[in-house]
Amino acid sequence: MKNKYFNNKSFTLVEMIVVLGITAFIATLLIANMHSGGESMDLTSEAQKLGGVIRQAQNMALTGQQINSSRPAYGYGVYVDSVSYKLFINDYEGVSYVYDDGNDTIIQSFSFPDNIEMTIPASAFSIIFTPPLGEVHASAALPLNISLKYVPINLNRFLKITSYGQVDVFK
């Protein structure tokens, strides 16, 4: 005779397969999210680095930083193109506030990592800070909005430089 109230406290094979399927799905999502999170951190780090170099040029102009025992009268600047940027001394003796590859002195050069590029503005630009007040001069209209893009997954970070020299980095 069968017991009508028999209580079986085990899982069926179907229940086990469903639980394993859900667990595998969640694990896949977490691994994919962790991978894109690293790329997001790399892009944010690169945007912060570019912002820091722009602030460095501004600080050099404000503090009267001397290079080779003299302070450049025409300021310090950053030249940015789609794959690299340069911190430079504006050596041009005149009212030119653009980077001149033949005449300006490069202090330091940087390259964006392989999968990161500047997409906005579409062309290269210079931003120069002149001593002693750190006045801002740019080869593009201010405020200058810059977009860095992690190309494989179309992820962006943005920098904004105002006419007062404020540099903000945001998502």
pLDDT band, very low/low/confident/very high, at 11 (cuts 50, 70, 90): confident
Cα gap 40→18, rounded to integer Å: 33
Domain assignment present for 5: no
Find all residues with CB under 8 Å of 143, minimum gap 6, and list them.
160, 161, 162, 163
Tell me which residue range forms the domain holding 18.
13-170
Domain assignment present for 137: yes
Domain assignment present for 7: no
Domain assignment present for 53: yes
pLDDT band, very low/low/confident/very high, at 40 (cuts 50, 70, 90): confident
13 Rama sector, left if φ>0, alpha if ψ -120 to 50, beta otherwise: alpha
pLDDT at 96: 73
Mean pLDDT of 32-40: 68
| pLDDT over threshold 90, residue 58 | yes
The total of structural domains in the chain comes to: 1
pLDDT in tens, 81-138: 999 999 999 887 666 778 888 889 999 999 999 999 999 998 999 999 998 889 999 9
Give the containing element (helix H, strand E) for 56: helix 13-63
CATH of the domain at 19: 3.55.40.10
Cα gap 40→154, rounded to integer Å: 11
pLDDT at 59: 96
Cα 43 versus chain centre, distance: 5
Give the containing element (helix H, strand E) for 41: helix 13-63
What's the chain's average pLDDT? Answer: 88
